[in-house]
Chain A
């Protein structure tokens, strides 16, 4: 069974702090790893990683994938209250029937206080 584990489950930081969110996985036929931010209802896309060791960056957010050790991290520098959200990690696999299954982790709830 495909497994995606995120840590920590929740985190409270002060504005300006830097945070690192973790995602580890045990899957068969890995294709990509995705990060999403969920503030209210619909998750919004942050990053997709397919190659090991290549950092993806967007403003204060960055992410990197280690395919050998089977994990990814999401970094947020100089956090702001608007970064408060649930951050979801997902892994896409190609299962034995050729279907593209996308499995999510439990999420990390980040709260940034002024």
Chain B
């Protein structure tokens, strides 16, 4: 089945630790996006990428890093510089043509120990 796979579903981070959230898609989409969702809030854009080896900062990129070494994969690292990382993280992807909708993975819940 085609889709977007995020792993793990739940992740716990210790103080000062970097953690990496995985996002893999087999839809042959060009563009991939990472969003953060806090309780009762909408989605805030962290990073996005349209082609391999290129990515752009979103509105809340501080404390996060990404890579795009393969078209299918767009991992997000939450660094120790992100002081309030507890949130629900959603990965999305789409084709880059006109009128293309976003497809979402099922998310990763990150909590701080």
Contacts and interface: CB of A to CB of B under 8 A. Distances in A.
B48 A42 contact: no
A100 interface: yes
Interface in B22-71: 31, 33, 35, 40-45, 48, 50, 56, 58-59
A101 B48 contact: yes
B101 A41 contact: no
Contact of A48 (B35, B42, B99): B99
A1 B102 CA distance: 21
Interface size band for A: 20 to 34
Contact of A6 (B42, B92, B104, B105): B42
Contacts of A109: 40
B42 A104 contact: yes
14 contacts: A1-B59, A32-B99, A36-B102, A41-B107, A42-B90, A42-B105, A45-B103, A102-B33, A102-B45, A102-B92, A103-B59, A104-B42, A104-B44, A106-B41
